[in-house]
Structure 1
């Protein structure tokens, strides 16, 4: 009888803990949703009452209406398509070699000593400061914009990947060596999985940098894309259209972040 009573008490405690976790999760979701809604409502009220100048800060409802009109006319789709093409092309062009080189730098000391000074010297240079050189090399076509994004993405990914490999617990590398693991097995079964958590953080950082870079690159040297849309509407003082571009950048940044977080939960569920 006493044992049954203890088991029943344990089940009740566990049930209460589960209910508490559920309440906490619901509260977190409510807070996550409520903060942007609160800011948008406040912005709407302040703009409608002219507490803030509606010429410079048009109400969110006006921005959404403008977004709908631009989407319906087909104008917006063309800018979005070209920007996404540049972002994805540059992102892949920067991430793939960065992962390969980061793994080699983390695994092999000669690679580390050869490439690390170059990376440390080039990384502090803003990518946009290198834009004239990129244009000289690749011209003013699409590839120069893709290369600009690739360069900006490359550095955080290669550094995080190398750091991820070097931070792998030494016991795994010792076991691999003791059992005579081939370089191929060490690469794919130790270095790559072990570096994934830190590598994915670098990729997350890289996607944010890619969005920043594409906007700046399209403002400086393009006649299409979301950055061009923002800059041209700003110069024409069409501020609702300008804000549409900013909303799109924010949306894609959030979407890409969710995709990478989802990928992270699948690839490294222990994190």
Structure 2
């Protein structure tokens, strides 16, 4: 009997081992796939199999990045864009969370605001940018308002949906214990909507990056979007690719940051 148990245990370990090693193999693929694409791009461009004017070798793009770093140009563009992104993101997220919670909690507010939000959501914020510039001028605040308008809608809709999905049992228990309005707001609605709300915030940060590039292309004299647009018009495509890579990097970084915050704020979702 003991021998049978030992054989079964070895067999179980043999079957479990590949499952444990699988994640490491998949992580290596995460790193290997972009490196292979870059290597293929480099070879095709160097061998003139693709037009190097439109697709310069990645090595030359890296060299252009370090040149821009050495001149200090890239630092100024990144600092301005991050300032606009963070400011606009907060201007959109904070009202989106508050209004979304109110829409989910109170029926009169839901009937008053939800149809208006759904009617305004399909309008591209960039289409309203001429009006925003007329009202606020060509400055950083107008870019922040443009970003805020784009971020607001996914956050408010996801937050309201998160509140609506809260189990009614929690609300009944709060009523039985005489919970006040602030208790509903901060102890039931906010934590209950947090998982869905963070998904809306995650979507909002991606939209913020898309919006800032377009906004800086239209009416700005600095920022990553301005760098991309001016280098494109001057046909300096290496600088344009540097700007695109920077936007991609910040999108990935902000996504990781929000996922880390989600683990801290919503540990029961693990």
Q: TM-score range by the shorter chain?
A: over 0.9
Quote the Cα distance in structure 1 between the aligned partners of 2:228 and 2:74. 11
Q: Describe the shift of the 1:99–1:14 C-alpha distance in structure 2 as closer, same or farther (beyond 3 A).
A: farther
TM-score of the superposed pair, with normalisation by structure 2: 0.94
Give the gaps of 5 or more residues in structure 1.
Answer: none
Does residue 253 (structure 1) correspond to residue 236 (structure 2)? The answer is no
SS across alignment from 1:23: helix
| Alignment RMSD | 1.7
Quote the Cα distance in structure 2 between the aligned partners of 1:180 and 1:17. 54
The equivalent of 1:62 in structure 2 is 60
* Comparing 87-96 and 25-34, the one that deviates more: 25-34
SS across alignment from 1:270: helix
TM-score of the superposed pair, with normalisation by structure 1: 0.94
The equivalent of 1:49 in structure 2 is 47
Quote the Cα distance in structure 2 between the aligned partners of 1:95 and 1:167. 20
- Deviations 1:150-199, CA, capped at 9 Å, x for gaps: 11100100000000110112222222222222111111111111111110
Quote the Cα distance in structure 1 between the aligned partners of 2:184 and 2:148. 28
Give the gaps of 5 or more residues in structure 2.
Answer: none
Does residue 213 (structure 1) correspond to residue 211 (structure 2)? The answer is yes
Count of residues in correspondence between the two structures: 269
Shift of 1:12: 5.1
Q: Describe the shift of the 1:143–1:122 C-alpha distance in structure 2 as closer, same or farther (beyond 3 A).
A: same
User: 77, 83, 86: which one pairs with 2:84?
Assistant: 86
- Deviations 1:20-72, CA, capped at 9 Å, x for gaps: 33211112201211221121111111111111100100011110110011001
The equivalent of 1:39 in structure 2 is 37
- Deviations 1:186-242, CA, capped at 9 Å, x for gaps: 111111111111100000000000000000000000000000000000000001011
Q: Describe the shift of the 1:41–1:191 C-alpha distance in structure 2 as closer, same or farther (beyond 3 A).
A: same
The equivalent of 1:117 in structure 2 is 115
Segments ≥4 residues shifted beyond 2 Å: 8-22
